[in-house]
Structure 1
Amino acid sequence: MDTPITIDLYSDTVTKPTPEMRRYMCEAEVGDEQLGEDPTVHRLQDMVAQLLGKEAALYLPSGTMCNQAAYAVHCQPGDEILMDKTAHPLHFESGGPTPLKGILVRPLEGERGVFSAQQLEEGLRKQDRYNPRSRLISVEQTANLGGGRCWPLETIREVCESAHQHGLATHMDGARLLNAVVATGIPAHEYARAFDSLWIDLSKGLGAPVGGVLAGSHEFINEAWRYKQLFGGAMRQAGIIAAAGVYALEHHVERLAEDHQNAQRLARGLAKLPRLFLNPKEVETNIVLFDVTETGLDAAQFVALVKQEVGIRFSAMGPMLVRAVTHLGITEQDIDETIQAVGRLVRGKILAYTGTTGSHTGAY
């Protein structure tokens, strides 16, 4: 029998609507969204457009669809998108740009998910008939596999300026943009200013059950609507789920700071345990990455054992890399229980299970 999950640090996607959000959803005004008649969807789109300083916005069922619709608007078949080698669209969106529109992806060698203007320029294709055409850059804020790292605003400006100088469009995968806003105090519209398109996720730290909102110029959004229709993303009485996004933007943004504090608390606790190594050492937002090499288990084995033994769920993000993500459903008490439970395992059962004798304690 599977052990029930009592503390779920798998991702911030596992959040559930709060009772207050559920009530707000039930009372939402609705209409046919595909016909442009849902007032709550319109309200949500207007809120996001204003938040990001863009002319218009479009509610979509998922962040992945936000990315893919944006890529399809910006690029033609044979064009190329440049993004960091760890970026979410490269690893976790089923290779979408290529089968959906024949778009290629060129990975850049950034550091913890962040690449520089120089690295971008070195990755640009020579413009001739032999090469794919470099057409778009995509920036992930925050960088998931970079441990929730925030792209510095100055780096964003430099990268986007370079892209525009070379005739490329700019897009932000803003799945956790509001985490960066809360962590740095920099307004969302300042991060958004240099981008031709970007989106925010509603179903991660904000705690809504469904959707993301893509923003850009009126012309861009009109074209994005065509791909929303093509990809099967047009909906009917979507105000019920859009209402959750409205509620989240009004009530759940500032509380993201609690997730960051809990992640930092977790990182400090895990760093004191034997055979676990924080990577990176500094936690900026709500993602904690740690290496389990010295436990004698690989990441998948470690995650499975911890879930089976103590009902705590992490996620394996690489052969030896484990991720924990704090969110709306995680309390300070949950963090302390996680540290204690994992500590008992790495000092006892994992040692007995693997026969390892690693002794190094700390973080790098």
Structure 2
Amino acid sequence: MSDPHPARTEPLRIDLRSDTVTTPTPHMRQAMAEALVGDDVYAEDPTVNELQQEAARLLGFEAGLFMPSGTMTNQVAIAVHTQRGQEVICAEGSHIYEWELGMMAAFSGVVPRFVEAPRGVPDPEGVRRAIRRSIHQSPSGMISLEDTHNKAGGTVLPLDVLAGVREVADQEGLPLHLDGARMMNAAAAQGVAPREIARHFDSVSLCLSKGLGAPVGSVLLGSRAFIAGAHRYRKMMGGGMRQAGILAAAGLIALREGPALLPEDHRRARELAHALMGAGYAVDLDTVQTNMVYATIPQAQAKSDAWAAQGLLANALDVDRVRFVLHHQISDELLVRATEIIAGK
């Protein structure tokens, strides 16, 4: 007699669309269930306070502020650093422009001034030349860098470039912000402590929900005075989350345990890049520095749809460009199967 309730098997799902797709680990779920909470709008949530303080200590800042997303932390930083009618100097392809829906103009009343950035790396002298002081032009209000640079392929900003842009910012009297959504990947790739990157900046946005694996959240870091100003803008954007310690508890686990996992993501990204090339697709290996692989694939959407039907998910970003992002929930076994699907096996 057949079993009337046969065991259900989940279909194969290898999700390489982003490192935001990870689900909470058992340790995170336990921490969330046991988290002490309070009202964070009153700064009374002990777990949120612990997360903010720990992130600040780790990156060498005075204070931090927990928010729902990296878009919010970036846009709050812009709001605090600038005045309406100013320009934000940023590398071409920067997330704050490409994927934050014009928020710098809609909310802060500022516009971008782009700097050429081959493979995501701007020249400090190019940053200097982008600064505007004329009465006939919008004045420069701040400089923003992105590390790793998403659209360039997850590329890392060399430390000497950070030092060079810091020097320009100091000489010109401009605040310097880091969209550090994946700065922990940059630190791992360079074999340096995260504060060696963060020390060049007046403010840093650090995502917990990407490579570090938390389900939600980013932390904005800076001086106490800067974070005091950020509180107001967070509230204006609807970022006052009240008993947010349930989320911050997972963020603490991500901050403590996530960085050690990143080198394996980077190794698997290189292996995937070579597999894509073996299948006949073009990959610029010089850009495969962290956990991302961008491949040139004709009819990208049709190809990604065909792969999705076999359980492999990737993002077609253009007519002939597909992005793959590795994360800690992609094992070597899943990577092998992904490469088989790509190879048509």
Q: What is the TM-score when the length of structure 2 is the normalising length?
A: 0.95
Q: Which residue of 1 aligns with 2:201?
A: 195
2:304 counterpart residue number: 303
Give the equivalent residue in structure 2 for 1:172. 178
* Structure 2 residue 58 is matched with structure 1 residue 65: no
Could you say what secondary structure the match of 1:210 adopts?
coil
Task: Tell me, yes or no, if the aligned pair for 2:180 and 2:204 is still in contact at 8 Å.
Answer: yes
Within the candidate set 9, 17, 26, 1:19 is matched to 26
Asked if 1:91 is matched to 2:92, the reply is no
Q: How many residues align?
A: 336
8 Å CA contact retained: 1:280, 1:289:
no
- Equivalent residue for 1:143, pick from 144, 149, 154: 149
Deviation string 1:81-126 (CA, Å, 9 cap, x unpaired) is 011111111110111100002111111111111101111122222x
CA contact (8 A) 1:147 1:280 kept: no
1:77 deviation in Å?
Answer: 0.6
Q: 2:283 matched to which residue of 1? A: 278
What is the aligned partner in structure 2 of residue 362 from structure 1?
A: none
Amino acid at match of 1:330: I
In the other structure, the counterpart of 1:100 is 107
User: What code does the residue aligned with 1:284 have?
Assistant: Q
User: 1:187 Cα shift?
Assistant: 1.1
Percent of counterpart pairs with the same letter? 42
Secondary structure, counterpart of 1:344 in structure 2: coil
Give the C-alpha shift of residue 163 in structure 1.
2.0
Q: Aligned with 1:172: secondary structure?
A: strand
Name the CA distance, whole Å, in 1 between partners of 2:319 and 2:125.
30
Q: Which residue of 2 aligns with 1:222?
A: 228
Match of residue 118 from structure 2: 111
Q: Residues of 2 paired with 1:269 and 1:101: CA distance?
A: 44
Partner of 2:318: 318
Tell me which of 145, 157, 162 is aligned to 1:156.
Answer: 162
CA distance in 1, matches of 2:303, 2:119: 23
Q: Which residue of structure 1 aligns with residue 265 of structure 2?
A: 259
Check whether the contact 1:78–1:104 (CA below 8 A) recurs between aligned residues: yes
Deviations 1:299-350 (A, max 9, x none): 2222222212x121101223311110000210111111111111117xxxxx
Distance 1:18 1:301 in 2: 33
**Is the 8 Å Cα contact of residues 5 and 307 (structure 1) preserved in structure 2?**
no
CA distance in 2, matches of 1:269, 1:280: 12
The range that moved more, 42-51 or 247-256, is: 247-256
| Structure 1 match to 2:81 | 74
- Please give the alpha-carbon distance, in whole angstroms, between the structure 1 residues aligned to 2:11 and 2:244: 33
Q: Secondary structure at the match of 1:136?
A: strand
CA gap of 1:116–1:5, structure 2 versus 1, over 3 A, is farther
SS of match in other structure, 1:82: strand
Q: Is the 8 A contact 1:25 1:241 kept in 2?
A: yes
SS of residue matched to 2:343: helix
Structure 2 stretches lacking a partner, 5+ long:
1-9
Instruction: Please report the TM-score for the alignment, with normalisation by the length of structure 1.
Output: 0.90
Q: Secondary structure at the match of 1:107?
A: strand
Cα RMSD for the two superposed structures: 1.4
Give the structure 2 partner of residue 28 of structure 1.
35
Alpha-carbon distance, 1:262 to partner: 1.1
> Hey, what's the Cα distance between the residues in 1 that align with 2:141 and 2:103?
16
Residue 243 of structure 2 aligns with an amino acid whose one-letter code is Q
Matches of 1:251 and 1:30, distance apart in 2: 22
Q: Aligned match of 2:54 in 41, 47, 67?
A: 47
SS in 1 for 2:227: helix
Deviation at 1:4, TM superposition (A): 5.5
Deviations along 1:22-73, whole A, 9 cap, x unmatched?
0111001100111111000010000110011011010011000000000000
Distance in 2 of aligned mates of 1:319 and 1:166: 41
